[in-house]
């Protein structure tokens, strides 16, 4: 690590106070707001989170209401944000908080880290933003800003890089006055990473309050720092979906409670591409008598480590008289539109909001 001057906390906080964006969860003084927003913002753009956050808070305004929320309702509120395990962990943590902390987030960084679904970053964000404690909150934005500032050229994916940044922040916290605004300091670095020291495109270094002592800027190395090694190529999974329906109902499957898209609803399918004739044979093997089969548009959905390449068929039957097993449900068109169906199937749910 290059020996650069430490961050000017006054200059950073002044910049933050003058440039921070308006967010529905910002400066509310409510730890629940910080927690909820930070979980929602993982892997999700701010503009996508804003309306979902407001709707979620209107329905579940506090930890108690979250702890008591029905799972299907919770998944419906989370729809569109993806990574649904985050919502399940929110509820799990809310129940734990009701049982052990009187429905409140503890004002302690180490205790926060031990809560279900709360890792070091989220614990640091809650501790520093909600309680103004000297706790590091290191996400991708903070890593990018500080690796550039300190001239760290190691692969940013390596755990040791995060450890280096954490050590630097802890040294910095220990050297500052106890009345310092750790909340504004941490949020200031995050805001720099979001708006100035950006992840995509050229950083706007001339607008940065830290540019005077930034190693990457002073040495014209912002193109090379941070260094990030390539991820392995995503696994491609070919899927065929079956929209099995009669005049009134659709057959819907609820996915297992563990694994990808756990506990959410989907159209039944198989992990291979089937032709029309193969699909008819498969549907007959399930005990249905197809009257008409229609090819629907193909779709693709990208997860972190895999891609679904989907083809789909609508299979009309005279009447659906059975649901295969307890994981299958019959729903009408209105119910179909109200279920927590993940965005992976958005093309098909949208299709049926427009068609009879």
Which burial class, exposed, middle or buried, applies to 277 when counting CB atoms under 10 A from its CB (0-12, 13-18, 19+)? exposed
pLDDT beyond 60 at 356:
no
pLDDT over threshold 70, residue 110: yes
Whole-angstrom Cα distance, residue 259 to residue 62? 28
pLDDT tops 60 at residue 195: yes
Name the active-site residue from 38, 79, 266, 314.
38
- Asked if the model's pLDDT at residue 292 lies above 60, the reply is yes
For residue 163, pLDDT over 90 is answered with yes
Which residue from 84, 91, 86 is spatially nearest to 67, judged by alpha carbons? 91
pLDDT on residue 321: 73
In whole angstroms, what is the distance from residue 153 CA to residue 168 CA?
15
The whole-number pLDDT of residue 5 equals 64
pLDDT at residue 337 in the model: 79
The Cα–Cα gap between 281 and 37 comes to: 47
CA atoms within 13 A on the CB side of 49: 16
pLDDT tens digits along 235-287: 999 999 999 999 888 999 999 888 888 888 999 999 999 999 999 999 999 88
- Phi then psi for 253, rounded to 5 degrees? -110, 140
Identify the band that residue 354 occupies on the pLDDT scale cut at 50, 70 and 90: very low
Mean pLDDT estimate for the chain: 91
122 vs 201: which has the higher pLDDT: 122
Share of the chain above pLDDT 70, in %: 97
pLDDT higher than 90, residue 85 = no
The model's pTM is 0.79
Cβ partners under 8 Å of residue 206, min gap 6? none
Lowest mean pLDDT segment, chosen from 27-41, 174-188, 259-273? 174-188
pLDDT band of 178, cuts 50, 70, 90: low
Q: Which residue has the tokens 């779709």?
A: 299
Residue 174 has pLDDT above 90, yes or no: no
Query: What is the per-residue pLDDT for 4?
Result: 47
Q: Does 3 have pLDDT greater than 70?
A: no
Q: Is 38 a catalytic residue?
A: yes
Percent of the chain with pLDDT over 90: 68
pLDDT confidence bin for 355, thresholds 50/70/90:
low
């Amino acid at each position: 690590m290059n020996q650069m001057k430490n961050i000017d906390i006054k200059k950073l906080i002044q910049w933050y106070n003058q440039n921070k964006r308006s967010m529905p969860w910002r400066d509310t003084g409510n730890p629940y707001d910080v927690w909820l927003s930070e979980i929602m913002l993982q892997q999700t753009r701010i503009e996508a989170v804003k309306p979902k956050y407001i709707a979620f808070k209107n329905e579940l305004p506090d930890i108690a209401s979250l702890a008591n929320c029905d799972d299907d309702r919770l998944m419906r509120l989370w729809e569109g944000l993806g990574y649904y395990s985050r919502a399940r962990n929110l509820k799990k943590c809310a129940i734990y908080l009701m049982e052990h902390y009187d429905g409140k987030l503890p004002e302690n960084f180490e205790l926060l880290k031990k809560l279900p679904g709360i890792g070091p970053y989220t614990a640091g964000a809650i501790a520093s933003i909600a309680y103004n404690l000297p706790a590091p909150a290191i996400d991708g934005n903070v890593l990018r800003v500080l690796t550039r500032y300190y001239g760290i050229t190691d692969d940013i994916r390596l755990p040791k890089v995060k450890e280096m940044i954490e050590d630097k922040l802890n040294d910095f916290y220990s050297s500052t006055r106890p009345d310092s605004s750790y909340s504004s300091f941490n949020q200031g670095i995050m805001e720099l990473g979001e708006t100035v020291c950006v992840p995509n495109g050229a950083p706007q270094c001339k607008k940065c309050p830290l540019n005077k002592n930034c190693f990457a800027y002073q040495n014209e190395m912002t193109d090379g720092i941070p260094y990030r090694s390539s991820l392995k190529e995503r696994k491609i999974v070919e899927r065929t979906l079956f929209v099995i329906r009669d005049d009134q109902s659709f057959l819907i499957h609820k996915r297992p409670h563990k694994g990808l898209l756990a506990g959410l609803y989907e159209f039944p399918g198989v992990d291979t591409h089937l032709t029309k004739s193969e699909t008819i044979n498969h549907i007959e093997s399930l005990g249905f008598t197809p009257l008409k089969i229609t090819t629907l548009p193909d779709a693709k959905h990208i997860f972190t480590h895999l891609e679904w390449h989907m083809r789909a068929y609508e299979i009309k039957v005279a009447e659906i008289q059975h649901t295969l097993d307890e994981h299958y449900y019959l729903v009408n068109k209105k119910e179909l539109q109200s279920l927590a169906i993940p965005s992976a199937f958005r093309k098909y749910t949208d299709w049926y909001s427009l068609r009879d």
